[in-house]
Amino acid sequence: MKSNKFTFWKENVGRSWYKFSRNKLSVIGLTLFILLILAAILAPLITPYPKHAGNFVDLITGSQAPDARHLMGTDIYGRDMFSRIIFALRPALLMGIMVLAIVVPIGTILGLIAGYYKGKFGDHIIMRLTDVFLGLPPLILALAVSSILKPTLTNSMIAVSVAFWPWYSRLVYNMVISIKNEHYVISSELLGESRVHILFREILPNCLSPIFTKMTLDFGWVIIMTASLSFVGLGEQPPDPSLGTMVAEGARLLPDKWWVAIYPAFTIVLLVLSLNLIGDGVRDMFTATEE
């Protein structure tokens, strides 16, 4: 038989990739992002001084400018900046993944429920709560939450999540209230489908493209916010490497020992830029084109 499930999937994946790859900048972004992920995973193998990622002090080699031995110089404790930056990619990427893994399901489910039962009690509760959280600037909210909690990676994850979930419930809510009046949703209701089926199989698939697009863009925002939290000392604690903390340490040494602040800051820029470029491509991928 010609049209079995395998060719069906192959066709669709191929078409999505074609749409994504038409935007060359997105391909560059994706390549960069994959390289950064690989660097983070293989950190102990590719860094010249893996030990420098932890508690290591060698004051003799402190504050050296970049040279052949230390590509990006060393910080005041004599630790190799390059090694520390590569290791710092790990918590940064982990934050992005974990925050999205917490925020997206919660925000989406709340948005689905509130949108489908628009005007009912549940809608008012969920959306007014969302409004309260949206009313506060996200960074201030995250700062407030993390200053109550102990400064650890897990707790800054929770703090950033608190700031991000309402954006998803608002996004999904607005989509659901228009999608639920589509005739295909009404058809399923008339057929006698369960609400769970209608919410997750009929409505949700039609909300996915903006969710995915927002996810790639938010990944970058989460990294920036995490860095901001650790910049003011509320994220991961030294000696564990963290991009925000490194920028904070280096900022005191500017402009003489510029490499201590500039390289980690530049890494943050690279990470966020690659994710934003991917976001553009993902948006194009999901935009329906006329056949």
- Which part of the chain contacts another protein (CB under 8 A), choosing from 38-46, 100-108, 126-134, 182-190? 182-190
For the record, the structure tokens of 143 come out as: 């700062």
Phi/psi of residue 73, nearest 5 degrees: 80, -170
Cβ proximity of 113 and 129 under 8 Å = no
**List 14, 201, 251, 252, residue binding another protein (CB under 8 A):** 201
- Which part of the chain contacts another protein (CB under 8 A), choosing from 17-25, 54-62, 180-188, 259-267? 180-188
Is residue 55 a contact point for another protein (CB under 8 A)?
Answer: no
Least distance CB 104 / another protein (angstroms): 18
Is residue 18 a contact point for another protein (CB under 8 A)?
Answer: no
Is residue 193 a contact point for another protein (CB under 8 A)?
Answer: yes
Cβ proximity of 168 and 222 under 8 Å = no
Question: Tokens 């960069």 label which residue?
Answer: 32
How many CB atoms lie under 10 A from the CB of residue 14?
A: 10
CA 2 to chain centre: 40
End-to-end CA distance of the chain: 25
Is residue 148 a contact point for another protein (CB under 8 A)?
Answer: no
Size of site (CB under 8 A) for another protein: 24
Is residue 188 a contact point for another protein (CB under 8 A)?
Answer: yes
Which amino acid makes up residue 228? S
Q: State the residues that interact with another protein by CB under 8 A.
A: 2-5, 8, 182-193, 201-202, 205-206, 208, 288, 291
